[in-house]
Amino acid sequence: MNTTTSFNGSRGLRYPAPDVARGFMLLLIALANVGFWSYGTGRFTPSTADRIWAFINALFIHERAYPLFALLFGFGLATMVNRRIASGAGVYCQDLTGGLRAPSAAEVSQAREQATVGARRLVRRRGLWMVLFGLVHGVFFPSEIIGAYGIVAVVFAGWFARKHHKRQLAVCALVLLFQVVPVLLSMFSGPDGGAAASTAASTAPTAAAPTDSAESVLSTLPWFVTNVGEWFSLAVGVAFTTMVLPAAFLGARLADTDLIAHPERHRGLLAAVGLGGLALGALGALHEILVPFTSAQSWEIDSTLIMVLGLPGGCGWLALLALYAGGPTSDGRLTGLKWLLAAVGRRSMTAYLSQTLMFGTIFVIMPRLTGNPLELGMAASAAVAAVVWLVTVGVCAVLERLGEPGPFEALLRTAVVRMRSPGPPGGGAGAPLVPTGEAQARKTAPAEEVWITGAS
C-alpha cells in the first residue's frame, strides 16, 4: 500500500509531510533517549568520535527532538478537530433537517456547536488513554513522553477544539517567563544574590528534596514504584514548564494553514525557517559547548537558552522535512525514502514503544543474562540508536506492505472509540441533538484519528 491515504479507505487523504517528519523525528528521539540507557556504562576517556558526536548532538538534537514531537502532536490534534467538526456538523445538520431542506443559520450554528463538543470529548478521551499508555510505559522508562502529551490533551482539550488562540498565546508567554525571569533575576542580583538564586534555581525542580530517612525509605521500594513516581513528576513538569506546551499550540496553529499540508507552495518561507531555526537553536547551545575549550565562564542562562531556543530548532527541522516531503501527489503515492519514513510516521507510537523494548533488551536484559556489562561511549551509543531506528523502519515497512496499522495505534483507536459518553436516553435535557449524531460522525470521520500524533 504505497499511498498517502489512510488504512480504512480513501475517506481522508493523508498529506505526506507530517508522516515523513514523524518518521525522521523518531530517529532523533532514539538518539536523544539512548543516553538514558547507555551513558555512564563506559568508564573510559571519551574518544575523538565521542567528542565530535557530542558537538553535533548539542547543536542539532538535544532539546530539538521533543519540540518537533510536540509540534507534530499539536498539528495532529488540531487537524483531527477540524475534520471532526466538519464531518460532525454535516451529520448533525442532516439529522436536524432530515435531508429534505437546507438548514437555517441557527441550525448550522447549533450543529457546529454540537460537533465542537464532540471534538473536545474526542481529544480528551485520546489524552486520557495516552496518559494510561504513558503510565505503563513509564514503569520501564520514566523519561517517556507520551504521558506528558496526554496531560496536555486532557487539560487543554477545549482550547484545541474551540481554538482559543489568545489564551494559548498567554500561556506560552507565561511558560517563557517562567523559564527566563528567574535566571535573569539571578544574573542581575549581584554575586551573593546570584549564587543564592542559582542554588535555588538548581534545586527548584526538587524543592521537596528527600531527607536521609526519606531516601532510605525510597531505596527500599521496588524499582517499578519509584519509576512511576519519577514518571509522574517528569510528565507534569514537561507538560507545563518546558517548551512542549508552546510547541503543541504552535503546531495547532499550523493546522489552520497550508504550510505543512502543501509545502510546495511555500518553498522560500520554509527554507528560511528551516535554516534560520536550526541556526538559532545551534546558537543557543554554542556558548555552553565552547566553555570547555576556551577560557570563557559558564553562564547561568545557558541551560535556559538551550531549552527556549530548542523550539526554533524543532521548527527548523519541521520546515526542512516538510520541504523534503512535498505535497500530495496526483496518485497519492510515495516512493523510496519518503515511503519508508511515512511508513514509520504512520506507526509512530508503535515505533516509539519498540525503541524502549529494544534499548531495554540491549542495555539491561542481555548484560544481566550474560554477566558482561555493555560499556559504550557516546558515539557507539548513537550508532546503536540508529540501528534500533532502522529495525523499526523495517518492521513498519512490512506492516505498510501488508496494509496493517501498528498494533499500538490499533489499540489506541479501539480504546478511544469504546470510551464513549452517551447522552441520557430518550433525548432529554443534555442529550445530543439527535442521539445517533456523534456516533454517526465517528463513523464518517477520517481514519487518521488512529495515530498518536494525531491526524495529518
pLDDT in tens, 299-329: 778 888 899 999 999 999 999 999 999 988 7
Burial of 111 (0-12, 13-18, 19+ CB in 10 A): buried
**What per-residue confidence (pLDDT) applies to 296?**
66
The number of folded domains in the chain is: 1
Most confidently modeled of 4-8, 11-15, 114-118, 129-133?
A: 129-133
Beta carbons of 274 and 316 less than 8 angstroms apart: yes
pLDDT over 70, % of the chain = 79
User: Hey, how many other C-beta atoms are within 10 angstroms of the C-beta on 154?
Assistant: 18
Residue with cell 556504562: 41
**What per-residue confidence (pLDDT) applies to 239?**
93
In the beta sheet, which residues pair with residue 3?
A: 333
In this predicted structure, the answer to whether residue 443 has a pLDDT above a threshold of 80 is no
124 within a domain of the structure (yes/no):
yes
Q: First-to-last CA distance in the chain?
A: 17
More confidently predicted of 189 and 436 = 189
Average pLDDT over residues 34-55: 81
**What per-residue confidence (pLDDT) applies to 149?**
96
**What per-residue confidence (pLDDT) applies to 236?**
94
Average pLDDT over residues 39-59: 81
pLDDT over 90, % of the chain = 55
386 vs 370: CA distance, rounded Å:
24
6 within a domain of the structure (yes/no):
no
328 within a domain of the structure (yes/no):
yes
pLDDT tens by residue, 85-133: 988 888 877 777 776 777 788 878 888 888 999 999 999 999 999 999 9
In this predicted structure, the answer to whether residue 449 has a pLDDT above a threshold of 70 is no
**What per-residue confidence (pLDDT) applies to 126?**
94
180 within a domain of the structure (yes/no):
no
In the beta sheet, which residues pair with residue 13?
A: 5
**CA torsion sign, 397 to 399 to 407 to 73?**
positive
> What is the chain's mean pLDDT, rounded?
82
In this predicted structure, the answer to whether residue 425 has a pLDDT above a threshold of 50 is no
If we measure between CA atoms, which residue out of 113, 121, 92 comes closest to residue 433? 92
Least confident stretch, 36-45, 121-130, 156-165: 36-45
Residue with cell 525522521: 24
In this predicted structure, the answer to whether residue 200 has a pLDDT above a threshold of 70 is no
Residue with cell 465517528: 442
In this predicted structure, the answer to whether residue 10 has a pLDDT above a threshold of 50 is no
More confidently predicted of 444 and 252 = 252
Residue with cell 495516552: 130
Q: CA angle at residue 77 from 132 to 455, to 5 degrees?
A: 100
Burial of 386 (0-12, 13-18, 19+ CB in 10 A): middle
User: Hey, how many other C-beta atoms are within 10 angstroms of the C-beta on 207?
Assistant: 7
**What per-residue confidence (pLDDT) applies to 441?**
47
Average pLDDT over residues 208-214: 45
203 within a domain of the structure (yes/no):
no
**What per-residue confidence (pLDDT) applies to 289?**
85
138 within a domain of the structure (yes/no):
yes
295 within a domain of the structure (yes/no):
yes
pLDDT tens by residue, 179-188: 888 777 766 7
119 vs 124: CA distance, rounded Å:
9
**Can you give the residue range of the structural domain that contains 367?**
16-163+217-450
Residue with cell 547551545: 285
More confidently predicted of 280 and 101 = 280
38 vs 42: CA distance, rounded Å:
8
Q: CA angle at residue 335 from 332 to 339, to 5 degrees?
A: 85
**What per-residue confidence (pLDDT) applies to 39?**
67
Distances (CA, A) of 218 to 141, 229, 235: 18, 10, 20
**What per-residue confidence (pLDDT) applies to 295?**
67
Least confident stretch, 191-195, 226-230, 272-276, 429-433: 429-433
Beta carbons of 321 and 338 less than 8 angstroms apart: no
If we measure between CA atoms, which residue out of 49, 126, 106, 112 comes closest to residue 82? 112
**What per-residue confidence (pLDDT) applies to 204?**
36
More confidently predicted of 72 and 111 = 72
200 within a domain of the structure (yes/no):
no
**What per-residue confidence (pLDDT) applies to 418?**
78
